Structure 1
Amino acid sequence: MFLSTSAFAEFAPEAVSMLKPKYPGNLTNVEGHARISLNIHKDGSVSDVKVLSATQPEFGQAAMAAASHWRFKPWTVSADRPAVLDANNDMIFSPEPLTTVPVELTFRNTTYQSCSALSEEVSQFRRDHPTRPLIAMKSFAITRVAVMFPALSGKSDYNEGLSRADALENALPDIVRKCQANPKKTYADYLPGNLKHYL
């Protein structure tokens, strides 16, 4: 981040803490910037943080929220060090890479993932696909294939495989609730016992 002070002041205060702005949670894959103005006081505090321009209103809000917590090294007022400095700052926003479940998951590392990872995947899935059933989520879809696999490969009755898949789907709301309450457990801990031996 670049901080420019008033053209009338050659003195630039030393930053002690310049909190970076958080990328707005309701935006995805959008890059942009925000320009703010602020006053820096001789005691190192800041005031009058304002948005001068922003490519998205959310970027302006995030920039203001971060800058209001900035702190600078206090200084002694002198002829070339005024009590208050006017400053401007430009902040660049880039979407952060999402932490998602790896694409190539085996049945085992899907079912033995932590409940905290599963809960994160559920939250992301519900944000991205609010109307889709939980069984369509990647980890649950992989588990469904696992319990159906003996039937799909001809090793067991197809109707039995469908019954197992239905049992899994019916258990999902309970699995999600239990995992959210116990993030250190694993997804497998809450799978119905009669399904575990297919995984």
Structure 2
Amino acid sequence: MRCFVLAAALLFSTSVFAEFTPDAVAMPKPLYPSGLISTQGHARISLKIHSDGTVSDVKALSATQPAFGEAAVAAATLWRFKPWTVSADRPAVLEAHNDMIFTPEPPSPKTVQLTFTQTLFQPCSALTAEVSQFRRDYPARPLIDIKSFAITRVAVMFPALSGKSDYKQGLAKADELEKALPDIVRQCQAHPKAVYADYLPRTFKRYL
């Protein structure tokens, strides 16, 4: 996944210094959050740009999804600007705002199939370990955000994302998967030598 960023929308808070705009040296784009499959959105951040080119106090002012705000802040923290000499019309610190637009890019069919196949036929013991680690790291996040389940969701949604099937049907399949996850986790915990694919709903067998 990749995202497009409206990086040109640096808006400065102090009108007195509106004519002075520092030159960007590096403005890396944020990473698209892995748990937000096929989701578009945006985030608005604030930051301070210092005369030595560094930034500080990067904050998410608003975001259509919390993960977009987190990704935007993480990227903007790495931004750097060309240093300038402080003067009457060039302050030591500038306050600015920036809008970032996130648009997911659907993966290619070959990439989806390869990753999906590897995920499906992993042993249940590996999936259980992944679930346990995820629960320790992100206790409040839903099961669908776990990498293996997120990959499965992309695969079952791919026909809809690529325009080969109805998008509403794709969403229904994704919802069906999410509802089945607690049972899949329990089954895998009870049968560590089985594989993840053994416990997917029967209606998903055509994806195998």
Tell me whether the two structures share a fold, i.e. TM-score over 0.5: yes
Give 2:35's aligned amino acid. N
Determine the structure 1 residue equivalent to 2:16. 8
What is the deviation of 1:25? 0.3
2:89 matches 1:80: yes
Residues 10-29 of structure 1: pairs in structure 2 closer than 5 A: 10=18, 11-29=20-38
Question: C-alpha deviations, 1:92-133, integer Å up to 9, x for none?
Answer: 011121233289xxxxxxxxxxxxx83x23356542166562
Give 1:95's aligned amino acid. P
**Shift in CA distance, 90/133, structure 1 to aligned 2, threshold 3 Å:** same
For 2:118 and 2:111, locate their aligned partners in 1 and report how far apart those are by CA, in whole Å: 16
**Shift in CA distance, 15/137, structure 1 to aligned 2, threshold 3 Å:** farther
For 1:90 and 1:66, locate their aligned partners in 2 and report how far apart those are by CA, in whole Å: 12
**Shift in CA distance, 97/82, structure 1 to aligned 2, threshold 3 Å:** same
Determine the structure 1 residue equivalent to 2:125. none
Determine the structure 2 residue equivalent to 1:92. 101
Residues 7-156 of structure 1: pairs in structure 2 closer than 5 A: 7-10=15-18, 11-101=20-110, 118=114, 120-122=115-117, 126-127=148-149, 128=152, 131=184, 133=197, 136=205, 141=208
Q: Is the 8 A contact 1:122 1:137 kept in 2?
A: no
What is the deviation of 1:136? 4.4
Choose between structure 1 and 2: higher helix proportion.
2
What is the deviation of 1:9? 1.4
Q: Report how many residues are paired.
A: 125
What is the TM-score of this pair, normalised by structure 2? 0.54
For 1:95 and 1:123, locate their aligned partners in 2 and report how far apart those are by CA, in whole Å: 23
For 1:66 and 1:4, locate their aligned partners in 2 and report how far apart those are by CA, in whole Å: 17
Higher gyration radius (CA): 1
**Shift in CA distance, 48/137, structure 1 to aligned 2, threshold 3 Å:** farther
Q: Is the 8 A contact 1:38 1:50 kept in 2?
A: yes
**TM-align CA RMSD:** 2.6
Determine the structure 2 residue equivalent to 1:177. none
Gaps of 5+ in 1: 104-116, 142-199
What is the TM-score of this pair, normalised by structure 1? 0.56
For 2:104 and 2:89, locate their aligned partners in 1 and report how far apart those are by CA, in whole Å: 40
For 2:51 and 2:21, locate their aligned partners in 1 and report how far apart those are by CA, in whole Å: 11
- Provide the secondary structure at the position in 2 that maps to 1:34: strand
Give 2:47's aligned amino acid. L
Q: Is the 8 A contact 2:26 2:81 kept in 1?
A: yes
Gaps of 5+ in 2: 1-6, 121-147, 154-180, 185-195, 199-203
**Shift in CA distance, 90/101, structure 1 to aligned 2, threshold 3 Å:** same
